[in-house]
Every structure is written in C-alpha cells, then in structure tokens.
Amino acid sequence: MLNGQESAVLVLDDVHVGDIIDYSYSIKGSNPVFAGHFSEVVPVQMTEPAERILTRVLWPSRRRLSAKLHGCAIQPSATYEKGTTEYVWDMRQVPGVALEDLVPAWYDPKPWVQLSEFQSWAQVDQWALALFRTTSPNSPELSQEIAKWKQIPESLNRRPVENMENLWNPEERRLFQAH
C-alpha cells in the first residue's frame, strides 16, 4: 500500500536464507505543496550493512542545486548532457551504523546529504509564508498575545541558551549525568 511516505508491501515467493534480493525504484512527480521546489535526502549509510546504496538525480542544468553534507564527505559523480546534469552517489560495501542507547529521539547518527534548490533560509521562508497566509482576521485573544510578544525586547528573543541542561526535563537529565 503506497501512502506517500515511501511505504510498499511486497510478497516474494520462494525466498530462502542466503538469497540476495536486489531492488530499485523511481520517483516521478512532486508534492504540489512544494510549488515546484525540490528538496531531498540522499542516504549515505543505514543501520544495517548494504551491498550498494545508489542514488541518481537528473537535474536541469539551468537550475542550481545545493548540497549540504551531514556527517560525511561523499561527493557525487556529475555528467552533463543536453541541458541535464546527472548526479550519482554510488556507495558499495557500506557498513551499518551502530545505534547507541539513550540518545535523544531527535538525534540521527546516520550520515546523509541534503539536496535543495533553495539557496538560503530566506528563500525557504518566502516559500513557506504562502502556506500560512489567511484572509480571516485574528481572534481578539490572539491579537492580544501578538501585541505582548511584540513588546519583548529583541535581545531577549535571540539570546543564546546558556545552559543546555535546562532544555531537558528532569527525567531525561538523569539519564545523561555521569555515574
């Protein structure tokens, strides 16, 4: 069943221990909420070992594509032909990433490459603003809250967090203390 979250169920008959299952897939089309903008993740390593991780992106050469590396130094091969750039990340004999216990739920140790045609957060902001425009007026309660927030000095809005421990609840903090 495909639900837009990369899920599929396949039943393979006559598969035995030691058999190698080779698979690939293609994604065509885009989610209309992104208004034609591209953003994707290239996996570099998984939790389980992989014989091969191959990602291929065909990109119009006239459009700029940015890549940000997260925990890796891999670069794709790039070929140009007739107005299209082909980027290929081809990794073989990729070991699995060992996951540690008791790490925060938001932390993902697996390396990856982030692709986007956005060149700055300001561009992302301009795209996202359209998603939250409304023609209905704010409620009086919300308008009062907004007025209060606007009174907060800018220096308090952007101050750095001085003690990261204060971001964790006491139960989580107990897990990270030295014993």
Mean pLDDT along residues 68-75: 92
Q: What angle do CA 145, 147, 149 make, to 5 degrees?
A: 70
Q: Which residue has the tokens 């089309």?
A: 29
User: Distance between CA atoms of 53 and 76, rounded to whole angstroms?
Assistant: 12
Alpha-carbon dihedral sign for residues 74, 80, 85, 91: negative
Residue 73: per-residue pLDDT? 92
From residue 145, alpha-carbon distances to 135, 140, 174 in Å are 19, 9, 35
CA 97 to the chain's CA centroid: 18
Query: Which one, of 36, 31, 91, 27, lies nearest residue 60 by Cα?
Result: 36
> Tens of pLDDT along 76-129?
999 999 999 999 999 999 999 988 888 888 888 899 999 999 888 888 898 898
Decide if 131 contacts 33 (C-beta within 8 A): yes
From residue 136, alpha-carbon distances to 33, 74, 125, 133, 148 in Å are 21, 48, 21, 9, 21
DSSP 65-116: -EEEEES-----EEEEETTEEEEEEEEEEEPPPPPPTT--TT---S-EEEEE
pTM score of the predicted model: 0.60
Q: Which domains does the chain have, with CATH numbers?
A: 35-137 (2.60.40.3140)
> Tens of pLDDT along 18-54?
888 887 766 677 778 888 888 889 999 998 999 999 9
